[in-house]
Amino acid sequence: MSNTPLRGIRVLDLTTVVVGPACTQRLADYGAEVIKVEMRGGDLLRSLGGRSPTGQHGGCYLHLNRKKRTVCLDLKAEAGRDALLAIAAGCDVLVTNMRPEALRRLGLDAARLRARLPRLVYCTITGFGPGGPYEGKPAYDSVVQGAAGIGGLFERRDGAPSYVPLLLCDHLVGEIAAGAVMSALFERERAGEGSAIEVPMHETMAAFVLAEHLGAQSFSPPIGAPGDVRLLDPNNRPMRTADGWISLTANTDAQVRAFFTVLGRPDLADDPRFVSVASRVRHVRHWYAERGRLVEERRTAELLELFAAADVPAMPCHSLESLLEDPHLNAVGLFRDVEHPTEGRVRSLRPTVLHDGAPAEAGRAASPVGYDTRAVLLEAGLPGEEIDRLMACGTAHQHEGGVAPG
């Protein structure tokens, strides 16, 4: 099996920031050719994603836009939209996280594009789905974390709401959208036509939260309060050791017995509070507290060696700095240095999915705005003199160091 199963598929990327680029990055990693269209100022994530030598390629932008070809068009101009439609005619998929009202104003909504291009798979990622009072509202990851109840999980556990310090909703919904696109491409092979997909962030993440935390409210009538007591217990966190922190989970009875045995307390395995899965759930606070007491006086390296020998799931609790030095990540080659047209050497993260044991290539680094404009427009059938006119009036832009047409 090839490690680029989507080779030959062309994706028109009208996305910005994280959720949409995460979707199209996954498609690119599976071998699709992704053409990212930006306005002259570029994707907001170019500067929002952190510092860079030029201020236009923050780390987060780099890691979510590898391999993509970049085209710069003014979609507010009719000529810019016409150029976009010419590109779309050669594409299999369009992905956007523009708000539906803006797409309708530009004439780029699913109904109009699919009327022209019936084989097109059109995927819209929205903050809130149609039919409810939130439809059309703007959304970012933190807004969805709060609206979907993620912030409330922290309040339940710690006494105050908080955000996961990671763009969790953006990444998860982006991955789900990529899966939806691939399922639509599969259906197109059978039915011969594309389809319109919408992936709303709020509903998707609310379902994600409730799949774990609806709990006793899953029954009618309810048999208890919502919330997984194991996950919401304040002691369900990395455990302090004599010289750092360790991440450990022991769920099965065999793992718990091994945990107690290697730490010199085999008697606790027969304690009625800890003897079974059900009893540990009922006494979760005591179970977590006892775990913590048993590891706090031993050094991390010793604990990891003991738990590895006993097959108890445990790993170091990395900081961001130590994660970059992780021996496994470096052994499997997650980090790759590549040359960037304007930023010099940049550290790239290779695709992690293995097809027949091999990952796809990380590909070229994320490009400057408009790096491929002329080449892509020529491929779309626009004459060179028309492209020159678009460039001259500012409707299109070609980066001065960009790719020359082949």
Q: Could you give the CA distance from residue 163 to residue 147 in angstroms, rounded to a whole number?
A: 11
Asked if 200 and 62 sit in the same domain, the reply is yes
Asked if 307 and 250 sit in the same domain, the reply is yes
Show which of 283, 316, 349 is a domain's final residue: 316
Asked if 40 and 178 sit in the same domain, the reply is yes
| pLDDT at 404 (0 to 100) | 59
CA atoms within 13 A on the CB side of 388: 3
Q: What 3-state DSSP class applies to 363? A: coil
234 part of a folded domain? no
| pLDDT at 400 (0 to 100) | 87
Asked if 69 and 168 sit in the same domain, the reply is yes
Query: Quick one: tokens of 293?
Result: 């007491």
Alpha helical stretches, state H, 312-355: 320-323, 327-331
Asked if 90 and 66 sit in the same domain, the reply is yes
Show which of 293, 316, 339 is a domain's final residue: 316
| pLDDT at 390 (0 to 100) | 98
Asked if 72 and 189 sit in the same domain, the reply is yes
136 part of a folded domain? yes
Q: What 3-state DSSP class applies to 332? A: coil
58 part of a folded domain? yes
Query: Quick one: tokens of 20?
Result: 């949409």
Question: Which residues of the chain are under the pLDDT cut of 70?
Answer: 1, 402-406
DSSP H or E segment with residue 186: helix 168-191
State the CATH number of the domain containing residue 186: 3.40.50.10540
| pLDDT at 405 (0 to 100) | 60
pTM attached to this predicted model:
0.95
Q: What is the dihedral of CA 184, 202, 17, 339, to 10 degrees?
A: -60
| pLDDT at 102 (0 to 100) | 96
Asked if 248 and 310 sit in the same domain, the reply is yes
270 part of a folded domain? yes
State the CATH number of the domain containing residue 253: 3.30.1540.10
Asked if 71 and 176 sit in the same domain, the reply is yes
Asked if 121 and 196 sit in the same domain, the reply is yes
23 part of a folded domain? yes
Residue 368, judged by CB atoms within 10 A of its CB (0-12, 13-18, 19+), counts as buried
| pLDDT at 1 (0 to 100) | 58
| pLDDT at 265 (0 to 100) | 97
Q: Could you give the CA distance from residue 266 to residue 271 in angstroms, rounded to a whole number?
A: 10
Q: Could you give the CA distance from residue 197 to residue 98 in angstroms, rounded to a whole number?
A: 14
47 part of a folded domain? yes
Residue 235, judged by CB atoms within 10 A of its CB (0-12, 13-18, 19+), counts as middle
| pLDDT at 3 (0 to 100) | 87
Q: What is the dihedral of CA 353, 48, 153, 293, to 10 degrees?
A: 70
State which residues form the domain around 191: 10-207+331-397
89 and 117 Cβ atoms separated by less than 8 Å: yes
DSSP secondary structure letters along 122-179? EEEEESS-TTSTTTT----HHHHHHHTTHHHHHHHHHSS----SS-HHHHHHHHHHHH
Asked if 105 and 194 sit in the same domain, the reply is yes
Show which of 284, 316, 348 is a domain's final residue: 316
Asked if 141 and 195 sit in the same domain, the reply is yes
| Edge-to-edge order in the sheet of strand 396-397 | 196-200, 121-126, 93-96, 10-14, 33-38, 69-73, 396-397
The closest alpha carbon to 92, from 186, 199, 201, 190, belongs to 186
225 part of a folded domain? no
Asked if 290 and 259 sit in the same domain, the reply is yes
Total count of domains within the chain: 2
